[in-house]
């Protein structure tokens, strides 16, 4: 049977939803292998041992990222044995998350158990924060019904200390277990700011803050209260960009409507079209029984743009969940006028315990971009952010390589481009996922996956995260889209 490679954070939910409601239909490259990785009936310690043996053998970036599996095994086996001996499920769960969090890869993950998470991060202080370009940490949003607002804290205030620690030290010390793994230092820093202001309900902290440019600081004591996760919705990018598909996957409550389709388009100016691609996969989002072709939807969007005499396109890949590499290459075909190399796929083979180059459907080893119609040769601005992951990053990479396209954003993409799909079932209805394949460039070197905290696609046009922009974002203003429109107008006027 021909294997199809899938890289995406939504792979598993696609299969679950197929069984449950027919929402999605996809193949996976390792359907046979995952059935063997069921450790759910083992003790916690034995399940951890089996997971470690499997993960350390199959993980695609051990050497690339410098993972010391022996050290991790020794460190966490003792903790798992203690949890087992004490019958402490919470400790087992937290140690498993901590173990995985040592691997800087957005494709390495496990599902969250909200009832446990909320005992640690269920409370907020009525604040959202951002670290701006000059290094200061500022308040970007304050809940007007909170004690923080009553104490006089307002957006724009500069934090000096948090619970007795200088603010930068406090941020450095934040654990991000509940926010998942971070492939890049940039993304990790964003998560630390998010989870600094989350705590167990009732926890007391002392906060020092000052007005911008002032030397004297005020202090206030705040207690974490049940804010129904309100501050999490004020962070970047969730305050601006709906993340309904990812939340459906993570089984997170989200009142936002389900997107109409995987490709949405609109005119944002007389000669500028906006096209948002949520993922490189076909989906039946509204359970009609007829999954739409995302590739066809993309072609239709470009045709509509051409009929509207569009000179420039804003392609929004922010929060893109990834999908199929073949579809990614096919979408890029609308923007390329000559056949171009895209990647080699180097996948772990459990039969040989080695990574092997895969053959494509045409028998060759290289996946290529084939030019197709409709062809768009105008200017393109590609919106990216750290939630653009996996095949979405491949799409950004392919477009960035064109002379008529530029990427734009506050931050780069996720830095997790491995071939995903491997999983193991663990006790407590937990499933662990990881990438077991690499994407290689023409020189057969790993591409896009992070190394030493750096990876992914960086913005060609980097928007400054200053205080004004950070506060605008927290208030729901789409600064990136606004900047993209301005950049395209300037480019089109100069041509």
pLDDT in tens, 184-228: 999 999 999 999 999 999 999 999 999 998 889 999 999 999 999
Q: What are 24-42's pLDDT values in tens digits? A: 323 323 333 345 899 999 9
Q: Does the structure show a pLDDT above 80 at 249?
A: no
Residue 439 has pLDDT above 80, yes or no: yes
Closest of 457, 455, 339, 441 to residue 396, by C-alpha: 457
Q: Is the pLDDT of residue 135 over 80?
A: yes
Residue-level pLDDT at 26:
32
Query: Quick one: which of 459, 471, 360 has its CA closest to 406?
Result: 459
User: What residues pair up with 431 in beta bridges, in sequence order?
Assistant: 425
> What six digits make up the tokens of 266?
């609109």
Residue boundaries of the structural domains of the chain: 120-234, 244-494
Contacts of 174 (CB under 8 A, 6+ apart): 191, 192, 193, 195, 196
Backbone angles phi, psi at 163, to 5 degrees: 55, 45
pLDDT score of 14 more than 80 = no
* Rounded-to-integer distance, Cα 114 and Cα 245, Å: 18
Q: Does domain 244-494 have CATH number 3.90.226.10?
A: yes
What is the separation of C-alpha 417 from the centre of its chain, rounded to a whole number of angstroms?
Answer: 11
pTM of the model: 0.92
**Residue 494 confidence class, pLDDT cut points 50, 70, 90:** confident
State the Cα torsion 202-207-211-212 to the nearest 10°: -110
Q: What is the side-by-side order of every strand in the sheet holding 263-269?
A: 263-269, 272-277, 312-316, 379-383, 405-409, 461-462
Which is nearest to 311 in space by CA: 265, 372, 376, 374? 376
Measure CA of the first residue to CA of the last residue in the chain; give whole Å: 50
Mean pLDDT of 407-418: 98
Question: Shortest CA distance to 6 belongs to which of 467, 254, 367?
Answer: 367
The CA-based diameter of the chain, rounded to the nearest angstrom, is: 71
Q: Would you say residue 54 has pLDDT above 70?
A: yes
Query: DSSP letter string over 403-458?
Result: TTEEEEESS------SEEEEEEEETTTEEEEEEEEEEE-TTS-B-SS-BTTB-S--
Q: By percentage, how much of the chain surpasses pLDDT 90? A: 84
Q: How far apart (Å, rounded) are the C-alpha atoms in residues 266 and 478?
A: 15
Please name the fold of domain 120-234: Pdz3 Domain (2.30.42)
Strand 312-316 versus strand 272-277 pairing type: parallel
pLDDT band of residue 251 (cuts 50, 70, 90) is low
Decide if pLDDT at 174 tops 50.
yes
Burial (CB count within 10 angstroms: exposed 0-12, middle 13-18, buried 19+), residue 352: exposed
**Can you say how many angstroms the Cα of residue 149 is from the centroid of all Cα atoms in its chain?**
31
Higher pLDDT, 495 or 68: 68
> Can you tell me the mean pLDDT for 116-132?
97
Whole-number Cα distances in Å, 473 to 248, 391, 460, 477, 478? 23, 26, 20, 5, 7
Mean pLDDT of 414-419: 97
- pLDDT class of 332 with cuts at 50, 70, 90: very high
Cis ω for the linkage preceding 127 (within 30 of 0): no
């Amino acid at each position: 049977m021909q294997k199809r490679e899938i890289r995406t954070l939504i792979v598993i939910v696609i299969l679950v939803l197929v069984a449950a409601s027919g929402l999605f239909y996809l193949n996976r490259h390792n359907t046979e292998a995952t059935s063997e990785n069921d450790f759910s009936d083992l003790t916690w310690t034995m399940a951890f041992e089996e997971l470690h043996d499997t993960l350390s053998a199959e993980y695609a970036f051990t050497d690339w990222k410098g993972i010391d599996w022996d050290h991790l095994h020794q460190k966490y086996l003792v903790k798992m044995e203690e949890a087992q001996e004490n019958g402490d499920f919470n400790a087992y769960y937290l140690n498993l998350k901590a173990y995985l969090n040592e691997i800087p890869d957005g494709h390495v993950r496990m599902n969250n158990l909200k009832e446990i998470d909320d005992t640690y991060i269920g409370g907020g202080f009525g604040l959202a924060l951002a670290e701006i370009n000059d290094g200061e940490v500022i308040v970007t949003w304050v809940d007007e019904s909170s004690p923080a607002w009553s104490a006089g804290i307002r957006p724009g205030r500069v934090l000096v200390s948090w619970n007795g620690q200088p603010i930068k030290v406090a941020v450095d010390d934040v654990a991000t277990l509940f926010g998942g793994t971070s492939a890049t230092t940039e993304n990790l820093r964003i998560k630390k700011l998010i989870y600094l202001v989350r705590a167990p309900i009732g926890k007391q902290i002392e906060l020092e803050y000052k007005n911008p440019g002032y030397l004297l600081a005020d202090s206030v004591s705040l207690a974490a209260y049940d804010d129904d996760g309100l501050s999490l919705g004020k962070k970047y990018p969730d305050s601006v960009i709906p993340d309904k598909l990812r939340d459906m996957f993570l089984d997170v409550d989200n009142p936002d409507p389900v997107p109409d389709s995987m490709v949405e388009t609109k005119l944002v100016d007389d000669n500028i079209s906006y096209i948002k691609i949520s993922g490189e996969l076909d989906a039946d989002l509204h359970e009609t029984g007829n999954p739409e072709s995302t590739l066809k939807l993309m072609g239709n969007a470009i045709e509509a743009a051409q009929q509207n005499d569009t000179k420039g396109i804003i392609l929004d890949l922010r929060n893109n969940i990834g999908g199929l590499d073949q579809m990614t290459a096919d979408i890029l075909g609308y923007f390329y006028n000559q056949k171009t190399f895209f990647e080699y796929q180097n996948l772990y083979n459990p039969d040989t315990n080695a990574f092997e180059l895969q053959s494509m459907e045409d028998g060759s080893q290289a996946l290529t971009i084939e030019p197709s119609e409709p062809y768009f040769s105008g200017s393109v601005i590609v919106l990216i952010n750290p939630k653009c992951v996996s095949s979405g990053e491949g799409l950004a990479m392919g477009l960035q390589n064109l002379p008529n396209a530029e990427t734009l954003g506050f931050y780069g993409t996720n830095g997790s481009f491995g071939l995903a799909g491997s999983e193991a079932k663990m006790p407590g209805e937990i499933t662990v996922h990881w990438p077991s394949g690499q994407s290689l460039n023409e020189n057969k070197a790993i591409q896009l996956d992070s190394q030493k905290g750096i990876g992914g696609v960086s913005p060609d046009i980097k928007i400054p995260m200053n205080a004004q922009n950070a506060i605008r974002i927290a208030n729901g203003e789409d600064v990136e889209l606004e900047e993209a429109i301005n950049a395209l107008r300037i480019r089109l006027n100069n041509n």
